[in-house]
Amino acid sequence: MIDAHCHVDFKEYNRNREEVMERAQDRLDAIINSGASLGGNRRTLKLANEYPGFLYPSLGFHPKNAQKADSIIIEQSIQEIENNIDKIVALGETGLDFHGLEDEENKKKQKSVFETFLELAAEYQLPLVIHARDAERKALDMVKKQGLNEVIFHCYGGDAKTASLIVEEGYYISLSTIICFSKHHQDLAGKIPLSNILTETDSPYLSPFKGRNEPAFVKEVLKTLSQVKDISLVEVDGITQKNIKKVFRLK
Ligand SMILES: [Zn+2]
């Protein structure tokens, strides 16, 4: 089992990060930690150093952070990502989050940072991890325009039509632990072929239980997928793990 998207660097784990990582190492084969800010990217690289061959780093800048960040901080983040480009398995998370957002200036700011990441992904031939909320179609259009091949729509929650367009492009849809308690996400999972599905927790968010989520709980995604697809957990794990290893080029 692999958690294809989590944030173990977040402060929610400061109290007992080592325990969380121990549980993850006991139960999983690997995790991808996604940086979401300048500090988050630095912490992600540090964790990758502490857990080599288990925690793989993806560096980015979350659209919600991009919207409020100083342009100097964004530039510095991009610079640091380029300086560490040979250490990372993907770029992101990045993208568009228009949920509850009316302000055009903020949308523009998100788009411009997203554009920068699209260009980096093309230049360095790295997979791109996308956060898109209430802007899935727009994000897909931008990705297609850039002509990227390896794209992951992380924690996808858009409509089935856009999901099918994503699949048509050969891109991946990463389903989070939200699938355990959301009918909409279970319906989506039923329609998306397993060959295009990745599994993730988006920890510390979206716990299938009470309280904080953690990478080890990715098993709950696999359990739900196994029910929805009516095939064994072992089979689901085999296919989704193969997808994750392929797109992030893990050994
Ligand atoms: Zn995330």
Query: DSSP 3-state assignment of 85?
Result: helix
Between CA 179 and CA 187 the distance in angstroms is 9
Order of strands, sheet of 128-133, starting from the edge strand that comes earlier in the sequence:
2-6, 30-34, 55-59, 90-97, 128-133, 151-154, 172-175, 197-199
Gap from CA of 132 to ligand 1 centroid (Å): 10
Gap from CA of 146 to ligand 1 centroid (Å): 23
**What pLDDT score was predicted for residue 70?**
93
Gap from CA of 234 to ligand 1 centroid (Å): 26
Its CATH architecture, for the domain 2-248, is: Alpha-Beta Barrel (3.20)
**What pLDDT score was predicted for residue 251?**
85
Between CA 24 and CA 176 the distance in angstroms is 16
Residue ranges per domain, the chain?
2-248
Between CA 91 and CA 35 the distance in angstroms is 9
Gap from CA of 200 to ligand 1 centroid (Å): 10
pLDDT tens sequence for the chain (251 residues): 999 999 999 999 999 999 999 999 999 999 999 999 999 999 999 999 999 999 999 999 999 999 999 999 999 999 999 999 999 999 999 999 999 999 999 999 999 999 999 999 999 999 999 999 999 999 999 999 999 999 999 999 999 999 999 999 999 999 999 999 999 999 999 999 999 999 999 999 999 999 999 999 999 999 999 999 999 999 999 999 999 999 999 98
DSSP 114-140: HHHHHHHHHHHT--EEEEEES-HHHHH
